Amino acid sequence: MGKNIKNAISLYINQLMCMVAGRWTIFLSMGCVMLLTLLRYDVDWSDNENIKGWGIILLGIVAIGCTIRKEGKIKWTSLEALVALNFLYFIMNIAFLSNYPIAHHMIIVAECVMMYVFIRVITAEEKGIDKIIVYTMAIAGVYESIFGILQLTGMLEANSIREKMTGSFLNSGPMGIYIAVMLSACTDYYFQKRDKIIGGCIIFMLIVMPATMSRTAMLAYCIVIILQFRTFILKHWKISLVAIAVTITILYFFKQGSADSRIFMNIVALNEWKEKPLWGCGVGGYVHTLANGQMKYFAMHPDSMFIDSVGSTDMAFNEYMKVLVEQGIVD
């Protein structure tokens, strides 16, 4: 009798573990990842926010561990080795080169690594997992869009006195880019599955995204559309080239002063990178380096056409250039 009870309890525990390591674990870990994307990353986090950020990461890691146990042995490739080396170099750069506050930036990078591992693991063998991922991203995108609409209508206050709509960010630009990322995933999925719910989410986000006036978001989503219709575009390449050129020109003159400022920032950043091409200035040092670079640039070019485009900023507006300046070509 006692042996039967023991076997029954053991069977129950095994079944419970299988359930925990099932799709609920996938929902949990994906939810943790998306929660991190909704935290404000463009400010220095307080101790409470740091604890919250790391808590979500740890919870997601536990969920990933359960998923790995369920999926069994995963065949890792050279790409995973590259990701691991890149993250290791990022940590070494912080430890030995950087002299800047980067607590929140560290959490962002940890989130990206966690997201990569998570998606890599669960997509190895799990069928239908793309639907869970896209639905989670659609929820996050719609949430951000609703947040923006409530700010635009005056029901909620924006996070900046200069703009009416910022979502959970300090600026409408990052909000637009965030929505564009969610839109891109949803659009690709819709063209494959013709999912009506995802289609509705796409329409809703498309209504909100232009209101952010983010050229990067609009251009990025245009590229996604181009890839979806690449066969047609290649067939009618002359008309397509004209359309692309017109679109880029419109986006430039849409906010010309801002566009000139971005061009100037990239020129200065590239000049500063040349001084420390291998290791960079250290993680978190982009803003400081850019400010010094602007002073040196105008000392050498006092009559530059960019004299009206100079300004103070705490954002790079070009993540590739930021990584190059902070971590060098080694990264």
Kindly indicate the confidence band of residue 5, based on its pLDDT and cuts at 50, 70 and 90. very low
Q: Are 89 and 146 in contact (CB under 8 A)?
A: no
Separation CA 229–CA 191 (nearest Å):
10
Separation CA 213–CA 167 (nearest Å):
13
Burial class (CB in 10 A: 0-12, 13-18, 19+), 153: exposed
Residue, of 73 and 12, whose pLDDT is higher:
73
pLDDT tens digits for 242-276?
Answer: 888 888 888 778 777 777 888 888 898 899 899 88
Supply the pLDDT for residue 16.
43
Q: Is the pLDDT reported for residue 328 higher than 60?
A: yes
pLDDT tens digits for 224-233?
Answer: 888 888 888 8
Residues recorded for the chain: 331
Supply the pLDDT for residue 40.
60
Supply the pLDDT for residue 18.
47
Q: Is the pLDDT reported for residue 2 higher than 50?
A: no
Supply the pLDDT for residue 15.
44
The alpha helices in the chain, defined as continuous H runs, are 2-20, 23-38, 47-71, 78-96, 103-122, 129-152, 172-193, 196-208, 215-228, 230-235, 237-254, 256-273, 286-300, 319-327
| Backbone angle region of 98, left / alpha / beta, with phi > 0 → left and psi within -120 to 50 → alpha | beta
Q: Are 119 and 133 in contact (CB under 8 A)?
A: yes
Separation CA 41–CA 20 (nearest Å):
31
Block residue for tokens 């004209």: 242
For residue 165, the number of C-alpha atoms closer than 13 Å in the C-beta half-sphere is 19
pLDDT tens digits for 23-64?
Answer: 566 666 667 666 666 666 555 555 555 566 666 666 666 666
* Entry pTM: 0.68
Block residue for tokens 């103070």: 312
Supply the pLDDT for residue 11.
45
**What per-residue string of b and e applies to 84-113 under the rule 16 or more CB within 10 Å gives b?**
eeeeeebeebbeebbebebebbbbebbbee
* Stretch 77-93: mean pLDDT: 81
Supply the pLDDT for residue 48.
56
